[in-house]
Amino acid sequence: MTPRQKRLTWILVGVGLVAAAVGLVLFALKNNVSLYFTPTQVYNKEAPQARNFRIGGMVEEGSVQRQKDGLTVHFKITDTTNAMEVVYKGILPDLFKEGKGVVAQGKLNADNVFEAEEVLAKHDENYMPPEAMDAINKAKQAEAKAAATK
């Protein structure tokens, strides 16, 4: 091997080893690197019990209930398999909506209700004008109707 090839090999081997090491570390820390747990993970007791963690998913359709004080909100976070009851007192972000993504930080209380201290809205990767959104919604409704009449 010429000195050049030797140096190239060293660099490639080095980068390969570093990548493998970082990969193993990140794999081992998978749960710590993820920002939130899904409701299913919480049901399977993969989430920490006594301390704060984040839970994420969709706000379940029709689950949002506001109390009379105007600040306390009850809703359910779902990953379509399981749903988690959440209670939050505070101002919700503008994008908080039923059927949209949400991440809440807090703790499970004794009744297995998630007491959130912070609620963040998660938006998806789709960008379109309102008219296009309306068209999609109408098409979906028509489809649902067709399915219902069948």
Stretch that binds another protein, among 14-22, 62-70, 81-89, 109-117 (CB under 8 A): 14-22
CB of 44 to another protein, least distance (A): 15
Q: Name residues whose C-beta falls within 8 Å of residue 48's C-beta, 6 or more positions apart in sequence.
A: none
Cβ-based neighbours of 85, under 8 Å, separated by 6 or more = 74, 76, 112, 113, 114
- By CB under 8 A, residue 25 contacts another protein: no
Going 22 to 44 to 47 to 120, the CA torsion angle's sign is positive
| Residues of span 87-126 touching another protein by CB under 8 A | 92-95, 100, 103, 118-126
- Select 133 or 144, whichever has its Cβ closest to another protein: 133
Rounded Cα distance between 117 and 140, Å, is 35
Q: Does 132 bind another protein (CB under 8 A)?
A: yes
| Side chain identity, residue 48 | P
Least distance to another protein from the beta carbon of 14, Å? 7
How many other β-carbons are positioned within 10 Å of the β-carbon of residue 37?
A: 21
Using CB under 8 A, list all residues that contact another protein.
4, 7-8, 11, 14-15, 18-19, 22, 26, 30, 33-38, 56, 92-95, 100, 103, 118-133
